[in-house]
Structure 1
Amino acid sequence: MLQVDINVPGSEARSYSIRIASGLLDSILDQISRDLPAKALFIVTDVNLVRSGILDRLHPAADIPRFIIDPPGEISKHMGTVTSILEAMEQANLGRDCAVIALGGGTVGDIAAFAASVFKRGVPVAQIPTTTLAQADSAIGGKTGVDSTISKNAYGTFWHPAAVFMDVDCLQTLDQRQYRAGLVESIKHGMIADQGLFSYIEQRLDAILACDPTAMTHLAYSNCRIKGRIVEQDPDEKNLRRVLNYGHTIGHAVEAASRYQLLHGEAVAIGLVAAGMIEVTLGLGQDGRLERLEELLHRIGMPTRISPYATAQQVMELLAYDKKAIDRKPRFVLTTRLGQVYCSAGQWAVEVDRKVVEEVIKRLL
């Protein structure tokens, strides 16, 4: 088993360990019982984890109260679901001495952690991510969120998990579209922080697409080290942590404009290409990395163009709602070379001339 320790500055209670292995699922509840000072547990998962048998593998008995999100996915990522979870926790007579277990992908993790952060003014949450997306990104770092009717992740909190457990065997239950889309966050980490990881994905893609346990354990460990290092320096996303939003400015806008027909990773793939095109336009991207990126995205079957999922007007309008925007002007994370993010005047997310953004979006249609 591999382990990555995240040490959040200023609070020992916000530091935690990420454990990564194949075949870990059967022993997780015992580890949670040892590690968390909780007298009661509450499981939040979705119907996909019930159908796949993963929930039964974690805990087949019905003695732990649970909430099953149905329908699964982004369509349920709203305040109504959070309210239902909180009321279910109250009906189970849980108090501040309980802990929430988030079993599932990024949507489950975001919703469950949000609910944990506000229940009785905050109870611990243990994350058990079961998708390529969640194991690469969303289960790490303490960001929670749900969507509004206008934009993605409009409401949320910072609530670091008490523990994270990653069993790469869970990834074998995913359908190919979801599995492949989740790999985009790993590609993003290589783009912003580790050219060795980017090369590893290029070279070992066949093993990664086959869900080889050794390759996926290495991939998860690399992702956790990269994101953990950034989160430790900027846990509340004041500046540096914004580099993790590389590709997400336009990606989130395209995702919302598509009415979530696109999976998150698919939309981010388009956003990564958009960021690369902006870099080329600004003279930051002349080393061939955009071509390497597009080739890799095509190899895993990701879309790289906005059409037919959204119009240029829709994307431009939604950019104003991006969380990095100032005075409704979006900020972009850009790279100067593979593994290195551009920093201007101490800022890791920078304003880009609107005409440049419009031109890139038109080229992506």
Structure 2
Amino acid sequence: MSNEGTRAISPWRRLFGIPLVTTMTFMVLMLATAVINGLPVRDPDGFLGPSYVRLPLIVVLVMVVDVVPRVFAQRPRAGEILGTIGQVFKSRWTMPRVAAITAGMASFYLAYVAYRNLKSFLPFLRDRLTDSVLVNTDRWFAGGSNPSDVLHELLGTGITAEVLSVIYVSFLIFVPVSLAVAMVWSDDLSRGAWYVSALCFNWILGTATYYMLPSLGPIYVEESSFADLPVTATSALQDSLYENRLAVLVDPHATQSVQGIAAFASLHVSIMFTAALMAHLIRLPRPVRWLLWIYVSLTGLATVYFGWHYILDVPAGLAIGGLSVWLAALATGRLHRPGRRRADKKLHPSA
């Protein structure tokens, strides 16, 4: 079979072959860890529903948003609408492209589920916490004070807390939506593969840092420093995570919850830095790039302000994000195969 035929039939193998094998290996590691230590494996539910339901629904929604405007742009007559939808869908969503998107979502799902479960296993496998070291490091950076106290004094604890809470919690929506948009709307399929693969590497590298320096974070070891903050969606999330942690520690087999507390490093920062760096490298419109860089800065600020993370967790998150982008570029061929990127771009023809 010719190279042209291979490119048309199996783009997912070029773009997601290495990431899929990597995430499957990560999943096997998680399953082996669970079996060896007698720990249950859970599908981590978010507030938008289980990831295996949430991700496909978001993809379908983005596909609809992609197809519908193109259909109406052709101004079909009432009896021609269904036929026009079929034509647009067929031209936009070829089987090779659908296969690549499926492989990308599978890679993300495997990495995410393995990450969440290995994070949940953490207190059973690494029971010595390093918070005392990180607290001392924080105070050294802040000249003897708690960094959160400095921020509360400088920025206040009223409207600032509300704004930063919205920014922090919006991450929970940003990740699945950006994932779907990258795979569905990108005119260059290799760009979407690059971003999705970078997210996968973030989960993998982030898990490694959790085990390197197991820690809870300032909000759970110095709670008094955050007593003046108002009740927000962020504080509710912190309480919920702590309750889930206690339930898992009491009996991991008696709850469907997962333990989701780990401070070093900040994956909120690493994921947002990944998105901003990717937007910069692929030259997205300048307003998008500026918004993402602002989002990165405010996310880093919010993590310390609310006590999710220590100061050192933020640059560690930046390092994970940068390394993930580079590893994903290697895995998807962005660094070595410009000709193939042009071929992948043709899989998303304009209707």
- Return the TM-score normalized by structure 2: 0.24
By relative contact order (CA 8 Å, sep 6+), the higher-ranking structure is 2
Q: Which has the larger radius of gyration?
A: 2
**Structure (1/2) with the larger helix percentage:** 2
- Return the TM-score normalized by structure 1: 0.24
